[in-house]
Structure 1
Amino acid sequence: MNHPHYILLPVNSFFIALSLLGAFMLNLFPWGVHVGVPDFVALVLVFWSIHQPRKVGIGVAFAMGLLMDVHDAVYLGENALAFTLLSYFAISIHRRVLWFPPLVQSLQVFPLFLGVQLIQLAVRLLSSDSHFPGWLFFLECVVTTALWPIASWLLLAPQRRPVDKDDTRPI
């Protein structure tokens, strides 16, 4: 293992809020009915629920779910339920996931993203007379999982200390 182990700086709460707002704005883009567009809010929620479970938890996930419900014009509580359960399960596995590099972490968070889509699909199928959208519906969770290493690198970037050693710094 030649990769240095970073001592991360404390996360700024403003940066967490800004990243959640940015993810919400990315979800607001008019992607249309394109298949495989990732759920950026779910990606950022899982990331912060794993890395900062005391700052981003079930309450934040519920609020972001309600915002997504209003935006998507779906049944009120569909995304809120899915994001709440997503955050709960992300917090429950956060100690185990952090032991692995980002590529292996993506394999461990894939069931979380798949579970969100299954919950959303179940609510839609149970609440209306809609039909099964097809197997390409689940391409969203695959693309979201593929973005996990990139999101990890981007969202941890402000917390990394410089690699070069400075004699005036204690650590």
Structure 2
Amino acid sequence: MIMPAGKPLLLPANPKFIAASLVLALLANMLLGLTGQAWLPDVLAVVLVFWTVYQPRRVGMVIAFLLGLALDVHESALLGQNALSYVCISYMAIFIHRRIQWFPLREQTLQVLPLFVAAAALEWTTRLIVQDAWPHWSQLLAPLLQTALWPLLGAVLLAPQRRPFERDNIRPL
């Protein structure tokens, strides 16, 4: 892939950092789930989509499925409800991961908004079919908040990759 002009080269992502960020996002989702508020964003979905876009060979649908099952067990939800949503959002992120990297983080929000809306719609449909529960209007805010979190979490998660490996005044890279 040809890099856009003026875009800095990134260091490889540390697998331990990826795993730690996914575990922290899972814990944040578990803590937010304890409040019982339906409008809160799904932090794990944002981090999962981010790593699926930027590291598709390390984070993919299998990890999305396992994290979804862990969240299903924690929430005592229908087993596979979150897993299905995360696998679908991971698949869609893999599908657009090359195109989305051409844009800066702020402009990527328009690219990831349909992913979060589709994942929320899939989760609502599953809940409607199985539990006969209509989604509340406040649940429509969650995909918008997830999209608003994208630039912030993206800057935090890309920060370790932007630091120079070895500072050298001779080499331009």
- SS of the residue corresponding to residue 84 of structure 1 reads helix
Distance, in Å, in 1 between the alignment partners of 2:36 and 2:62 is 29
Superposition map of 1:57-68 within 5 A: 57-68=60-71
Partner of 1:71: 74
Distance, in Å, in 1 between the alignment partners of 2:30 and 2:125 is 23
The answer to whether the Cα contact below 8 Å between 1:35 and 1:137 also exists between their aligned partners in 2 is: yes
The answer to whether the Cα contact below 8 Å between 1:35 and 1:140 also exists between their aligned partners in 2 is: yes
- SS of the residue corresponding to residue 35 of structure 2 reads coil
Distance, in Å, in 1 between the alignment partners of 2:96 and 2:125 is 24
The answer to whether the Cα contact below 8 Å between 1:6 and 1:161 also exists between their aligned partners in 2 is: no
Partner of 1:54: 57
**AA matched with 1:93:** I
Query: Of residues 21, 24, 32 in structure 2, which corresponds to 1:22?
Result: 24
Which segment drifts farther, 93-102 or 35-44? 35-44
Partner of 1:101: 104
The answer to whether the Cα contact below 8 Å between 1:63 and 1:80 also exists between their aligned partners in 2 is: yes
Residues 70 and 33 of structure 1, relative CA distance in 2, 3 Å threshold: same
TM superposition shift of 1:167: 2.2
Partner of 2:13: 11
The question of 1:112 aligning with 2:120 is answered no
Partner of 2:132: 129
Normalised to the residue count of structure 2, the TM-score between the two structures is 0.90
Residues 102 and 170 of structure 1, relative CA distance in 2, 3 Å threshold: closer
**AA matched with 2:121:** L
The answer to whether the Cα contact below 8 Å between 1:43 and 1:144 also exists between their aligned partners in 2 is: yes
Q: 1:111-141 CA deviation, whole Å, 9 max, x = no partner?
A: 11111111111111101232x1332211111
Which segment drifts farther, 4-13 or 84-93? 4-13
Partner of 1:142: 144
Normalised to the residue count of structure 1, the TM-score between the two structures is 0.91
Partner of 2:154: 152
Which segment drifts farther, 142-151 or 4-13? 4-13
Identity among equivalent pairs (%): 46
Give every structure 1 segment of 4 or more consecutive aligned residues whose post-TM-superposition deviation is greater than 4 Å.
Answer: none
Q: RMSD between aligned alpha carbons? A: 1.9
The answer to whether the Cα contact below 8 Å between 1:7 and 1:161 also exists between their aligned partners in 2 is: no
Distance, in Å, in 1 between the alignment partners of 2:25 and 2:136 is 26
**AA matched with 2:154:** S
TM superposition shift of 1:36: 2.5
**AA matched with 1:141:** P
Distance, in Å, in 2 between the alignment partners of 1:19 and 1:109 is 19
Residues paired across the two proteins, number: 167
